[in-house]
Structure 1
Amino acid sequence: MPTCIWEEWMAETTTVQKTEGRPDYSSYRPMEECDVAQRLATYPEVVEVLGGRPTEWAVREVGDGNLNFVYIVKGPNGSLCAKQALPFVRLVGESWPLPLDRSHFEHGALVRQAQRSGHVPKIVTYDPGQALIVMENLGRHKIWRNALIAGERHESAADVLANFMAETLFRSSDLSLDAASRKVEMVHFAANTALCKITEDLVFTDPYRAHELNRWTSPELDDTVAAIRADAEWKHAVQEMKALFLTRTEALLHGDLHTGSVMVSRTETGSEDVRIIDPEFAYYGPMGFDVGALMANLLLAFYAQDGLADDRSGMKDWLLAQVERVWSGFAERFTELWRTERTGDSYHRSLFEDVGDEEASAAACNTYLARLQVEAIGFAGAKMARRILGLAHVADLETIEPAERRAKQEKRALALARMLLVERHAIGNFAEACERARQVDGEER
């Protein structure tokens, strides 16, 4: 980053941090591969895990994300993952500054997720001023997206993710927390404005207008993009979803839950482990956003299958089954929490169970979930479209060659994305959404 921009950013950020009690970044310095070991050696927790001397530690930069540096560090006794935020969007470069305090919110989200559900990396140490989180190394795991591209099936992933979403969303909402506690939490994460702005623009606005950061498979999708930008129903529907994103502060979201933020592993005996990573987009928003984001990526993976080399008909059926499995598991766990952990100020038990009206409570839960499912369907449509028309695409589709073949699959995905947005109320549930996915897949052949 040019010195003048860096100094301006630091001056503004330091003032904000001191005012709001967040980290002071005046001593922040990005790590480089050549000095990672030396700098990590200053943290006793790191030395204890790695063992030996820093000169014995092997450092490897592995970050393939859009925002951060990520290093794997191995020592005589163990290994760790060090993640440091950069003061700009790595995918774009130094022309797009980004506050370092996203690391502060990611750390806060990881702590809360560990308490409320688990299935996140264990934190070894956190240095707020360096925007640095050091955590366990998930070296035996692989990104779920990559596993899906390879045609691998991890049967436990849907169940773990369903429970994770139900538990983290329910337990951070006013169904579980008293109103005052939830408001304190909400205010804390409301300050994650820079990353919320990325979502607001890249998911809900930029794909539907001319913008320098947009990209798509061109010229194959040029006519499709022009038609979408002229589609009033589509734009109206996506703006309704944006309004929900902006205003419905239901629960603490992961904020960027997709198959690239899930890691999976399988041992020789067949046991599986699933972890959820990278919650730096965490903020209080509509529960359906996390659910829809995950579903969108499974549906994109479904449409990508025909563009891959071998016969993937069985994999396609399995992916749609996972969509339904995630929702059914989510609804089941959410309903259980409704019955057993509804201690917050919303849907207060004094109005239902405490006066013997369990039936009315169950009906209220069903209505709540029905509304949430419709919203999740709409968010899924928005997230599918942005991964084809906007800045950050998905490897599922990007790996398909030639471009004509990729565009064919992308057109199918976009056709479903429109349905999920415009017709979300008529679709109503993810079983029907999967049926629509099959119909589009057949019609577009």
Structure 2
Amino acid sequence: MTLTVPTTYKALTEATAIALAKTVYTFDHAAQLTCREIGDGNLNYVFQIEDTETGKRIIIKQALPYAKIIGESWPLTLKRATIEANVLRKHGEFVPSLVPAVYATDEELAITVMEDLSHLEIVREGLINGQNFPRLSKDIGEYLALTLFHTSDYGLHPFEKKRLAAEFSNPELCKITEDLIFTDPFFDIDTNDYEPQLQSAAEAIWSDRKLQLEVAKLKKSFLTESEALLHGDLHTGSVFASQTETKVIDPEFGFYGPIGFDVGLFLANLIFQSITREGENRQVIVDDIGKTWEVFASSFGELWNKQSVESFRATEGYLEYVLGKVLTDATGFAGCELIRRTIGLAHVKDLDSIEDTEKRTSFKKQALETGRALILQGQQTASIDDLLEILEEARK
């Protein structure tokens, strides 16, 4: 596979990032700027630029034409930088306090200049360290409801919705999602990555024909249902937060897809914490899972009743049907995320950072069993309590 990189594209260095910052942001012309590369993801460089006198900071994010986790043998489109910036801007129309401000973009250089969020903490890191974020479930529930409703046929004229669906076509990154979430973990594929202790558990998944049928249905939904403009990769590593603030970042996988996908991925990444925690600390996470859904459903329903352009909006039972489908979809998608983050290519630190081999293996087996149960029982999930009951049963 080859990828055509724009002739003007050049990877930034710390020096060139500083020079760029002076041209696109309102630093004083005499400001003394420092720069450090802080990215720890798989796809991008992230430079933090700081005025040493005032402490003012910005972020310059540049997409790489390949995946760092693999190298240049896995080329990636640079268009994802433009999609990411445009998703932030579009979602920012509805939840300006929940996404970083975008100051400038350059499509040829695959660069986005945005608000610095270093005063906040990556939620995954905080949760692993035992912290809790009291606003997280409410803020993410509202983020999901507002962004997904306002970019759907329920909130948009069909011409505008279809225009946006075309604008946010993201086939290259969608193919990554298709492979890594819906295909590879369910077959004996070389890119899968897991400890020898999980061999039998992995083989059980690969041989489970009933499970594969349900995953095939979920993959079909992902491929064909263009319901709303998704974040596309909404996990706890894509959220910054504090005790009083929440910001969602990194929507470079954004595209038009099924509403339940964003919901399911976020719930799945909370479920990892419900697996590794005990006692009251675990109950906080379980409560967050329930509240995220409840806030989403309540906020979505309020938008539906007040702002929906759907002709059948007042038809008895239709809103309940729509929300019911979102929940069953989300339950299945969450199960796929649990399995792929355990035996697939890209893992989560919630599990991998556990040093005790026996404990880590036990938690990973529980994650696989929980994922399997969510997928197989997803269509019978009538309420968030049903989903939480599946989590409890998988711990026994």
Report the TM-score when normalising by structure 2: 0.96
Please tell me whether residue 394 in structure 1 is matched to residue 339 in structure 2. no
Give the 3-state SS of the residue equivalent to 1:244 in structure 2.
helix
Q: Which of 271, 285, 298 is the matching residue for 2:257?
A: 285
Amino acid at match of 1:162: G
1:145-164 to 2 correspondence within 5 Å?
145-164=124-143
Please tell me whether residue 93 in structure 1 is matched to residue 71 in structure 2. yes
Give the 3-state SS of the residue equivalent to 2:108 in structure 1.
helix
Q: Distance in 2 between matches of 1:296 and 1:53?
A: 48
In the other structure, the counterpart of 1:230 is 207
Q: Deviations over 1:182-225 (max 9, x none)?
A: 111111112x1110000000000011122222101x21101111
Structure 1, gaps ≥5 residues long: 14-24, 267-271, 306-311, 353-357
Q: Deviations over 1:156-190 (max 9, x none)?
A: 11001001100000000011111111111111112
Amino acid at match of 1:334: F
Q: Which of 30, 41, 47 is the matching residue for 2:11?
A: 30
Q: Are the aligned partners of 2:327 and 2:381 in contact in 1 as well (CA < 8 Å)?
A: no
Following superposition, the deviation at residue 52 of structure 1 comes to: 5.0
Q: Which of 339, 344, 350 is the matching residue for 2:305?
A: 339
Report the TM-score when normalising by structure 1: 0.86
Q: Are the aligned partners of 1:204 and 1:382 in contact in 2 as well (CA < 8 Å)?
A: yes
Q: Deviations over 1:135-169 (max 9, x none)?
A: 11111101001111111111111001001100000
1:405-416 to 2 correspondence within 5 Å?
405-416=359-370
In the other structure, the counterpart of 1:197 is 175
Following superposition, the deviation at residue 81 of structure 1 comes to: 0.8
Q: Deviations over 1:339-386 (max 9, x none)?
A: 11112xxx31xx56xxxxx5x34x211111111111111111011111
Please tell me whether residue 212 in structure 1 is matched to residue 193 in structure 2. no
Q: Which of 84, 98, 101 is the matching residue for 2:62?
A: 84
In the other structure, the counterpart of 1:124 is 103
Q: Distance in 1 between matches of 2:93 and 2:19?
A: 32
RMSD across aligned positions (CA) = 1.4
In the other structure, the counterpart of 2:21 is 40
Q: Which of 314, 324, 329 is the matching residue for 1:370?
A: 324
Q: Distance in 1 between matches of 2:265 and 2:188?
A: 24
Q: Which of 3, 10, 22 is the matching residue for 1:9?
A: 3
In the other structure, the counterpart of 1:16 is none
Number of aligned residues? 393
Q: Which has the larger radius of gyration?
A: 1
CA shift in 2, pair 1:398/1:51, >3 Å: farther
Q: Are the aligned partners of 1:377 and 1:429 in contact in 2 as well (CA < 8 Å)?
A: no
Q: Distance in 1 between matches of 2:337 and 2:7?
A: 36
1:167-182 to 2 correspondence within 5 Å?
167-182=146-161
Give the 3-state SS of the residue equivalent to 1:133 in structure 2.
strand
Q: Which of 287, 301, 304 is the matching residue for 2:276?
A: 304
Q: Distance in 1 between matches of 2:83 and 2:367?
A: 33
Please tell me whether residue 325 in structure 1 is matched to residue 306 in structure 2. no
Amino acid at match of 1:320: V
Q: Which of 62, 81, 88 is the matching residue for 1:103?
A: 81
Q: Are the aligned partners of 1:300 and 1:384 in contact in 2 as well (CA < 8 Å)?
A: yes
Q: Deviations over 1:13-72 (max 9, x none)?
A: 6xxxxxxxxxxx3211110224321233232xx2x1x33546x21111110111100011
Following superposition, the deviation at residue 435 of structure 1 comes to: 1.8
Give the 3-state SS of the residue equivalent to 2:93 in structure 1.
helix
Give the 3-state SS of the residue equivalent to 1:400 in structure 2.
coil
Q: Are the aligned partners of 1:292 and 1:376 in contact in 2 as well (CA < 8 Å)?
A: yes
Q: Distance in 1 between matches of 2:19 and 2:232?
A: 33
Following superposition, the deviation at residue 427 of structure 1 comes to: 3.0
Q: Distance in 2 between matches of 1:79 and 1:51?
A: 12
Give the 3-state SS of the residue equivalent to 1:99 in structure 2.
coil
Q: Are the aligned partners of 2:21 and 2:49 in contact in 1 as well (CA < 8 Å)?
A: no
Amino acid at match of 1:208: F
In the other structure, the counterpart of 1:425 is 379
Amino acid at match of 1:262: V
Amino acid at match of 1:323: I
Following superposition, the deviation at residue 261 of structure 1 comes to: 0.4
Structure 2, gaps ≥5 residues long: none
Q: Are the aligned partners of 1:220 and 1:404 in contact in 2 as well (CA < 8 Å)?
A: no
Q: Which of 235, 240, 258 is the matching residue for 1:258?
A: 235
In the other structure, the counterpart of 1:308 is none
